[in-house]
Amino acid sequence: MPKKVVHYINQFFAGIGGEDKADYKPEIRAGIVGPGLALKSALGNEYEVVATVICGDNYFGSNIDKGVVPELLEMIKKYKPEGFVAGPAFNAGRYGVACGTIAKAVQDELHIPVVTGMYVENPGADMFKKDVYIIETKNSSADMRHAMPKLAALLKKQMEGKEVLGPKEEGYIEKGIRVNYFNERRGSERAVDLIVAKVKGEPVYTDYPLPVVDKVAPAPALKDLAHARIALVTSGGIVRQGNPDHLESSSASKWCKYSIEGMDHADKKDFMTVHGGYDRAFITEDPDLCIPVDVLRELEKKGFIGKLMDYFITTTGTGTATNSAKRFAEEYVPLLKKDRVDGVLLVST
Amino acid sequence: MVKEIDRAGIPVTHICTVVPISLTIGANRIVPAVGIPYPLGDPTKGEKKSHEIREHLVTRALKALTVPVDKQTVFEEDF
């Protein structure tokens, strides 16, 4: 008896339609559809793609919290699969998120091996790489004939209980798992090889890659400081005296905005710090140490800058997730834009 | 937060006490601050000296906004 596999694809790969059909409701068909042909041939005779489950990307996205996942799981369960493949989604964002979501759900609920495939920049890759095996594909479906055999091979390995090797060997996106093993050559030798290769400008391989942080190009320089509108932002947890908005002392969930209009310095009568990550004694005594209203006001009077904005923006940096910090700025940047802010000083403790 | 401000096209100077963190997260214009409990000034040196230190750092940070940069730049000295 061949082992049973179910395949998930979207409305586009099912040949139903593109964007205009992205609201297509979940459906399951016996046998293969579209890229299922490539999957079938890559899996070989000992496996059978018993069914293909199809869902429109928008339908999936807009019903992700409204029961689309359990609905799909019910359909999939009926075919009693022993393995599950989603996609590959290449660089299609909503499809990638759908593939990751359903693959994880099948893995968690039906307890069977799963695999999907995506381009590394597909948002679904970041969301699900730690949960499920995602074969790294190129960014377009032209890569199907290369990608599908890799998906099939990794699924088979899991279904046959064979050891799954590292991301490089199997072609999946790193899951962030480290496995101990004995290398024939000691660390010092490999370290020297690595530095020599780096010096020579040769391609290098590291056992422990550093996390990739996205870089943003610097904004263009200010041309006219003397007429510039300058805003003050801080992660130092400075709030109005008494903390009226209950800003957290750690792991902030929000940012706050307070007036400094007409003030010639930041007085301890008006401001305090709630930051839980440093000794607050100094800033409690003199908030200018973190929000330099005194100096900026003097520079404004001298005409060194055009205007100090009438407010400052604040949050608590300590323990705060970088994603939260990103969201805070995404929320207040439109305000800075609306107020025609030309430049920002951001003070971190 | 620094990156989102930069991304919006508004130049921003990150005045920070731990420069390696600022470099890791990807700030582009960086001015090293004095210390964690008092980034701008040094109250242990008296009010006048502390104010002077703050004035220097803030002025440097503002001037950094006027400097075209194409990569992460740490402004270590007054200029």
CA distance B19 to chain A (A): 10
Domain boundaries, chain A: 3-170, 225-347
Answer yes or no: is pLDDT of A179 > 90. no
CA distance B30 to chain A (A): 10
Closest residue in chain A to residue B72, using alpha carbons only:
A218
Residue range A245-275, pLDDT digits in tens? 999 999 999 999 999 999 999 999 999 999 9
- Residues shown for chain B: 79
Return the pLDDT at A135: 97
* Identity of the residue in A281, A305, A346 whose CB atom sits nearest the CB atom of B62: A305
Q: What mean pLDDT comes out for the span B17-35?
A: 91
DSSP H/E element including A335: helix A322-338
Distance of CA A316 to the CA centre of its chain: 22
Does A346 contact B1 at a Cβ distance shorter than 8 Å?
yes
Answer yes or no: is pLDDT of A210 > 80. no
More reliable by pLDDT, A187 or A7: A7
3-state secondary structure of A181: coil
Number of structural domains found in chain B:
1
* Identity of the residue in A326, A333, A347 whose CB atom sits nearest the CB atom of B40: A347
Residue B79 located in a structural domain: no
Answer yes or no: is pLDDT of A216 > 90. yes
Closest residue in chain B to residue A343, using alpha carbons only:
B11
| CA R_g for chain B | 13
Q: Tell me, yes or no, if A288 comes closer than 8 A to chain B by beta carbon.
A: yes
CA distance B4 to chain A (A): 6
A contacts of B53 (beta carbons < 8 Å): none
Q: How far apart are CA A41 and CA A20, in angstroms?
A: 31
Q: Per-residue confidence at B25, pLDDT binned at 50, 70, 90?
A: confident
Does B3 contact A329 at a Cβ distance shorter than 8 Å?
yes
Is-contact A8 A114, C-beta < 8 A?
no
Residues paired with A272 in a beta bridge: A239
Cα→Cα distances B28→A214, A228, A318, B12, Å: 12, 19, 21, 8
Does B13 contact A345 at a Cβ distance shorter than 8 Å?
yes
Return the pLDDT at A32: 97
Return the pLDDT at A207: 74
Test the B interface: residue of A216, A232, A271, A308 with most B CBs within 10 Å: A216
> A134-138, A217-221, A322-326, B5-9: lowest mean pLDDT where?
A322-326
Q: Per-residue confidence at A316, pLDDT binned at 50, 70, 90?
A: very high
Answer yes or no: is pLDDT of A88 > 70. yes
Strand-by-strand arrangement of the A229-234 sheet: A256-259, A307-314, A229-234, A343-348, B12-16, B29-32, B73-74
Q: Tell me, yes or no, if A1 comes closer than 8 A to chain B by beta carbon.
A: no
Mean pLDDT of chain B: 94
Which residues, at least 6 apart from A125, have a Cβ–Cβ distance to it below 8 Å? Answer: A96, A100, A118, A119, A134, A173
Q: Tell me, yes or no, if A235 comes closer than 8 A to chain B by beta carbon.
A: yes
CATH class of A3-170: alpha beta
B contacts of A294 (beta carbons < 8 Å): 51, 54
Q: Per-residue confidence at A212, pLDDT binned at 50, 70, 90?
A: low
Q: How far apart are CA B77 and CA B32, in angstroms?
A: 9
Q: How far apart are CA B35 and CA A112, in angstroms?
A: 53
Q: Tell me, yes or no, if A268 comes closer than 8 A to chain B by beta carbon.
A: no
Q: Tell me, yes or no, if A302 comes closer than 8 A to chain B by beta carbon.
A: no
Does A289 contact B2 at a Cβ distance shorter than 8 Å?
no
* Domain span including residue B13: 2-74
Residue B24 neighbours by CB distance under 10 Å: 13
A contacts of B55 (beta carbons < 8 Å): 295, 298
A contacts of B50 (beta carbons < 8 Å): 289
Mean pLDDT of chain A: 94
* Identity of the residue in A228, A292, A326 whose CB atom sits nearest the CB atom of B40: A292
For residue A135, which of A104, A89, A179, A93 has the smallest C-alpha distance?
Answer: A89
Return the pLDDT at A121: 85
For residue A88, which of A205, A31, A24, A8 has the smallest C-alpha distance?
Answer: A8
Q: Per-residue confidence at A341, pLDDT binned at 50, 70, 90?
A: very high
Q: Which amino acid is at A330?
A: E
Q: What mean pLDDT comes out for the span B22-43?
A: 93
Residue range A37-61, pLDDT digits in tens? 999 999 999 999 999 999 999 999 9
Return the pLDDT at A211: 65
Answer yes or no: is pLDDT of A218 > 80. yes
Q: What mean pLDDT comes out for the span A174-197?
A: 90
Q: Per-residue confidence at A209, pLDDT binned at 50, 70, 90?
A: confident
Answer yes or no: is pLDDT of B49 > 70. yes
A contacts of B3 (beta carbons < 8 Å): 214, 216, 326, 329
